[in-house]
A and B are shown apart, each in its own frame.
Chain A
Amino acid sequence: MSQAGELILIIIGAVFVNNFVLSRFLGICPFVGVSKKVESAIGMGMAVTFVMLLASTASWLIYEFILLPLSLTYLRTIVFILVIASLVQFVEMVIQKASPSLYKSLGVYLPLITTNCAVLGLAILNIDEGYNLIQTVFHSIGAALGFTLAMVLMAGIRERLDRADVPESLKGAPIAFIVAGLLAIAFMGFAGLL
């Protein structure tokens, strides 16, 4: 298959078939915590997209050009989490200087992203799958799009759930998980796509 076709398949696979939230269970905390309003879901999605793309590219480069030649691959987990943590800190400072308005809208979500397992999970997955640099970039875009899609869908449903008559014990998180379960069933329909 042509290379462009392969890259498109990687994106479609990461958005629909192996959706990071609904199929791989990565990034559940923000998925449940920040999905009460569509607006904040989009904000979180944008912040995660940004960090995911930078972090997975940076960690791929470090793995390939530093850890692998020095045969330090067992340090992978420690190095990757440090890369992500410092990158998030750095991005936060840059955005604060460059665009205060963007900082205001993304600001609260940025520190949360360090402990978002989707970011570290993506960095490790790219290595485990043996992707090259271009494939890593496309896989990251797909993963971030999939995360944002799941967040926005969930937020849209939860905004309506506020007005629904939910039994007392199911209010809040429990009904959110049941909705997520139904969403996951819907996403299973994409399984035969690839």
Chain B
Amino acid sequence: MSLNELTKGIFKENPVLRLMLGLCPTLAVTSSLENGIGMGLATTFVLLCSNIMVSLVGGIVPKKVRIPVYIVIIATFVTVVDLSMAAYLPPLHKSLGLFIPLIVVNCIILGRAEAFASKNNIGNSILDALGMGIGFTLALSMLGSIREILGNGTILGISLLGSAYKPFLLFVLQPGAFLTLGLLMAIMNRLEKKS
């Protein structure tokens, strides 16, 4: 067990900004910081549970049917998240909408199950899931805050830039998602080249 498994997902192999995985929810739900965090945490939970399960059954499942088995494991935990969120956090459930069941097809989760959890022990798989989950949540929060501040002048619903600020509405609409992510990726490239 090493700390490297935890930290690699946050910067060096950040799923969104470096590996370009899980882009659909990243773009779709980050119109505000709250939604970004909600989506990030929901995905982290599913990732953690599925990594644990997959690393436990990794040795038993025949190679040929492993992908369907992983998908069923993931879909089960997604259903758990979907139903509990609908029960306890109905407003968030409504604003994330379609993208909660779509956590199933988030390539980060199946990717980590196949590339990491099936080959590693449970301790490392937990660290890997937490690292990747935190990296995903951070990327979503970054996008969410930039878009919320520029597009609405608020952060977590609290006014930040005052009433004199004229909101740049484009950033909370669809094009803003693409533009913000493109510029963030460019900044990451630039930082990497310098270091």
From 155 to 171 in chain B, residues with beta carbon under 8 angstroms from any chain A beta carbon are 170
Nearest residue (CB) in A for B104 is: A81
Contact A188 B104, CB 8 Å, known A28-B23, A74-B83, A78-B76: no
Cα separation A177 to B78 with both chains bound (whole Å): 28
User: How many whole Å from A55's CB to the nearest CB in chain B?
Assistant: 12
A32 touches B28 (CB 8 A): no
Cα separation A114 to B76 with both chains bound (whole Å): 17
- Chain A: how many interface residues by the 8 Å CB criterion? 44
A174 touches B183 (CB 8 A): yes
Cα separation A94 to B119 with both chains bound (whole Å): 33
**Is A105 among interface residues, defined by CB-CB distance under 8 A?**
no
From 51 to 91 in chain A, residues with beta carbon under 8 angstroms from any chain B beta carbon are 74-78, 81-82, 85-86
Q: Tell me if A's interface is mostly helix, strand, loop or mixed.
A: helix
Q: Mark A116-132, 1 if CB is under 8 A from B, else 0.
A: 11001100110010000
Cα separation A82 to B186 with both chains bound (whole Å): 37
> Which of B52-60, B133-141, B174-182 interfaces with chain A?
B174-182
User: How many whole Å from B103's CB to the nearest CB in chain A?
Assistant: 9
**Is A10 among interface residues, defined by CB-CB distance under 8 A?**
no
A170 touches B186 (CB 8 A): yes
- In this complex, the member of B71, B177, B178, B183 whose beta carbon has the largest number of chain A beta carbons within 10 angstroms is B178
Q: Which residues of B contact A170 (CB under 8 A)?
A: 182, 186, 189
User: How many whole Å from B125's CB to the nearest CB in chain A?
Assistant: 20
B193 touches A78 (CB 8 A): no
From 142 to 194 in chain A, residues with beta carbon under 8 angstroms from any chain B beta carbon are 167-171, 173-178, 180-182, 184-185, 188
B79 touches A77 (CB 8 A): yes
Q: Which residues of B contact A28 (CB under 8 A)?
A: 23-24, 27
Cα separation A9 to B108 with both chains bound (whole Å): 36
B71 touches A169 (CB 8 A): no
Q: Which residues of A contact B183 (CB under 8 A)?
A: 174, 178
A185 touches B175 (CB 8 A): yes
Contact A82 B189, CB 8 Å, known A26-B24, A128-B98, A177-B181: no
Contact A174 B71, CB 8 Å, known A27-B24, A78-B76: no
**Is B68 among interface residues, defined by CB-CB distance under 8 A?**
yes
Nearest residue (CB) in A for B30 is: A25
Contact A174 B185, CB 8 Å, known A124-B101, A181-B175: yes
Q: Which residues of A contact B72 (CB under 8 A)?
A: 78, 82
Q: Which residues of A contact B176 (CB under 8 A)?
A: 181
- A interface list, Cβ under 8 A from B: 22-29, 32, 74-78, 81-82, 85-86, 114-117, 120-121, 124-125, 128, 167-171, 173-178, 180-182, 184-185, 188
4 further interface pairs, Cβ-Cβ under 8 Å (given A28-B23, A75-B79): A29-B21, A29-B23, A185-B170, A188-B175
24 CB-based A-B contacts, threshold 8 Å: A25-B27, A25-B177, A77-B82, A77-B104, A78-B75, A78-B79, A85-B71, A114-B105, A115-B105, A117-B102, A120-B104, A124-B101, A128-B98, A167-B186, A168-B189, A174-B182, A174-B185, A181-B176, A181-B178, A182-B175, A184-B174, A184-B175, A185-B175, A188-B174
